[in-house]
Amino acid sequence: MLGEAFYNTFKGDYDIRASDIDVNESWLTELDVRNYDAIRQDALKFKPEFIINLAAYTDLEFCENNPDETFLTNTNGAENGARISEEMGSTYVFISTAGIFDGNKDIYNDHDIPSPLSVYGKSKYRAELSIKDICTKYFIFRAGWMMGGGQKDKKFVHKIIKQLIEGKKELYVVNDLKGSPTYTYDFAENTKEMIATKFYGLYNMTCEGGPSRYEVAAEMLKIFDLQNRIELIEVKSDHFSQEYFAPRPESEVLDNLKLKTINLDNMRAWDLSLKEYLEKDWAQIVKEKVS
């Protein structure tokens, strides 16, 4: 999801070496962030000014069931990149998450102390701490509920779209979880602007606003002009407790306080970014499938 946006955003101004464990694009090469020696040798040849780590397990249920695998990728993999960046004098860029908070506050700024509930959140917070210990030059950007990527989208927005395409006329959506949707292209653009500065450090970086899952789904139906044809049913999180059993904070709403302070918060309102994403990647497909 995020890799596509970063590649398209950066490719006009930077020489890029993009890698993944799943080589599904012509611009990708195969590398695994868990393999320190392979990453290091590749970096020594390419001599990057920036090392940007977008790699992570993000499926919360997978992470709960596979904690060792999760920490190996999300934490150890992040530490590998940090050590290599420090050795080479590169700037390290790491993507963290709003999921490192416990949800007891309505809104979290950059200075609030994390207290993650899930294995996923713990693995990302541990990575944050390690990067601060290892790196001299680093950016850590905390994203919210990610949206973007078209067919690569694996998150909430795509799950709603999938149900629409499958012909569902009733959608059950939780109303007790709030967050800050984060469009991949907005995130990539703001990252590009930030790393051109030397304002190193940790930043919240989400689209503006803090809707519930239900409010996001309602806005999607409005954008697709389906609000009078699809019934949206509000439920509590426990409605999906068997399928989505990993602990989730009630609020993952972030305030981009530090970005605002330095006048570098170019993240748009969440509903504007959602509209752009859906109209660009999904509107025609949904129109053809939903009769």
Q: What is the structure's pLDDT at 291?
A: 67
Q: Are 213 and 270 in contact (CB under 8 A)?
A: no
Q: pTM for this one?
A: 0.94
Q: What is the structure's pLDDT at 192?
A: 97
How would you label 145-169 residue by residue, b for 16+ Cβ within 10 Å and e otherwise?
A: bbbbbeebbebbbbebbebbeeeee
Phi, psi of 247 (to 5 degrees): -65, 135
Phi, psi of 97 (to 5 degrees): -150, 155
Q: What is the structure's pLDDT at 153?
A: 84
Which ranges of the chain have pLDDT less than 50? none
Q: How many CA atoms lie within 13 A of 69 on its CB side?
A: 10
Cβ atoms within 10 Å, residue 263: 7
pLDDT digits (tens, 9 = 90+) for 203-221: 999 999 999 999 999 999 9
- 29: CATH: 3.40.50.720
Q: Are 183 and 246 in contact (CB under 8 A)?
A: no
How would you label 70-98 residue by residue, b for 16+ Cβ within 10 Å and e otherwise?
A: bbebbbbbbbbbbbbbbebebbbbbbbbb
Q: Which residues contact 235 (CB under 8 A, 6 or more apart)?
A: 172, 173, 174, 175
The single residue listed with the structure tokens 């999300």 is: 74
Query: Which domain range does residue 75 map to?
Result: 2-289
Per DSSP, 242 falls in state T
Nearest-angstrom CA–CA distance, 98 and 120: 11
How would you label 206-229 residue by residue, b for 16+ Cβ within 10 Å and e otherwise?
A: bbbbbbbbbbbbbbbbebbebeee
Per DSSP, 208 falls in state B
pLDDT digits (tens, 9 = 90+) for 142-161: 999 999 988 888 889 999 99
Domain count, the chain: 1
